[in-house]
Chain A
């Protein structure tokens, strides 16, 4: 196999990545700009960290970030459990009643426009409250349920595709040697699919942390998440503090992704060395 690429393809890659990264880099650069006009560089006073201080003293943003963090952590943990179960079921059992429905229900949330999911969840919560009195009002609980419903679909896909390339001989060997199915799952299956579960957790966390539409529909008074606060600010135009927030987000995500992928490639190498 040869790896030659034509100049055309290389140019396309160059432009494509420039398109993807210039907006991100511009936010990072302008987060150090002293001017309140954000995109007009104030040469005299920049670079400065003043918007970093002002963000870290912005009560509204900090409160919203705390709510987002709580929702995201509960959501990620819950959807990993539900998504792993669903992915495992779909990958391992080729025939069971409702397989088709489960498959459809875990694919649909991936593409469903969020306004539809958000509206339908809210109407469900309102109807349930009238019917059985739960959930009383809307807030963190209802938001988390909403987030889990679409996040678990992503986890299901990740776990399912990892299990599709999984060598079942390992599990069979363990069972031949007398391990019970539950023990096989915890001692053999779980450690092997752990990278997929970790990716699923991180993805579910990010999806929840970023979600605006479903949160807006399912939140209640006093439970505004970070994206909701950002959205209302951004509607009024650019703000230097949002650039700072973006820069912090980008830094954290980059460190996380690079860290996890380095760790995973090391694991893969260890696997190869062991085999």
Chain B
């Protein structure tokens, strides 16, 4: 019974990575498809394997790629921290609300997640641009006299990422906090703990798995994010997902794009495994 989904994922999820790996070792060619085969018949009976590491060497010699990798990690990390700062109090507030309010608030968190990401990112262009809503309001209030440049800056990109990924952080965190025994907090306060101390000593450590799961759901996809930097970040927003996209679509350098994908994957696999083990712990604790 599980054979069908199993084979499907094997063919369309795992095998493709093998092909990406293969193409990342082949030469660029001016042909369709634009790469040379790895295996070639040399003469009559000998098969030559032409593996070259040029694409990888290229990635390490050109500063552009290394900078893009480092910048993507930085952006994803900071966005995760910002998401936590905004999302943790929200998840906490929802988990401590009355059951009826709780469902409504949860619905309000999920709703934006169901409307198109592209359209929600687009909304920020209208808010942030020079004659956009935020500038108009600030000018009208007299807070500023010249419009601020916000669109096509790193600031816009962070706003876009935090905004888009916030539900992914709140939901697992809420699921974790909801199971919390709040009497522990009361006990701590009865014994003389201040609310902040009780939070720091009890709530925070107990919600560790929720924090980790939510952070991974933000961090991992954010590293390879393409849409948000492309729309809000401006031409200087160097993110690796965008580099891969441009290599593929603009330069038709498929082997280079494949090498970028493989390195990105190698970078993210440890985090993915971490996420899976956190998930396993969470569901083991739930039963």
Contacts and interface: CB of A to CB of B under 8 A. Distances in A.
Interface in A91-105: 93, 96, 98, 101-105
Given A119-B257, A164-B287, A12 B122 contact: no
B219 to A, nearest CB: 9
Interface residues of B, number: 91
Nearest to A203: B114
A12 B261 contact: no
Interface string B244-265: 1100110000100110010011
Contacts of B212: none
A265 B102 CA distance: 13
Interface string B30-67: 00010000000000000000000000000000000000
Contacts of A193: none
A221 interface: no
A45 interface: no
A53 interface: no
Contact of A145 (B2, B12, B19): B12
A24 B115 contact: yes
Contacts of B87: 16
Contacts of B5: 82-83, 85-86, 89, 102, 106, 152, 156
A197 B230 CA distance: 35
A179 interface: no
Counting chain A residues whose Cβ lies within 8 A of the other chain, the interface size class is: 35 or more
Nearest to B231: A234
B86 A230 contact: no
Contact of A27 (B126, B225, B245): B126
B131 A212 contact: no
A130 to B, nearest CB: 8
A108 B163 CA distance: 23
A48 interface: no
A5 interface: yes
Interface string A133-165: 000000000000110110010001000010010
Given A116-B264, A213-B226, A246-B122, A123 B97 contact: no
Interface string A199-228: 000010010011011001100000000010
B9 A149 contact: yes
B111 A254 contact: yes
Contact of A253 (B115, B122, B231, B283): B115
Interface string A61-86: 00000000000000000000011011
B158 interface: no
Given A230-B119, A245-B119, A114 B221 contact: yes
Nearest to A111: B220
Contacts of A238: 122, 125-126, 129
A119 B244 contact: yes
Contact of B89 (A2, A8, A19, A237): A8
B9 A107 contact: no
A212 B118 CA distance: 8
Interface in B64-107: 86-87, 89-90, 92-94, 96-98, 103, 105, 107
B285 to A, nearest CB: 12
Interface in B135-149: 136
Contacts of B125: 234, 237-238
B1 A89 contact: yes
A132 interface: no
8 contacts: A13-B90, A24-B112, A102-B9, A164-B283, A238-B122, A243-B126, A245-B119, A257-B107
Leading 9 A-B pairs by shortest Cβ distance: A113-B224, A89-B2, A120-B16, A12-B89, A23-B123, A86-B5, A124-B16, A111-B220, A105-B9
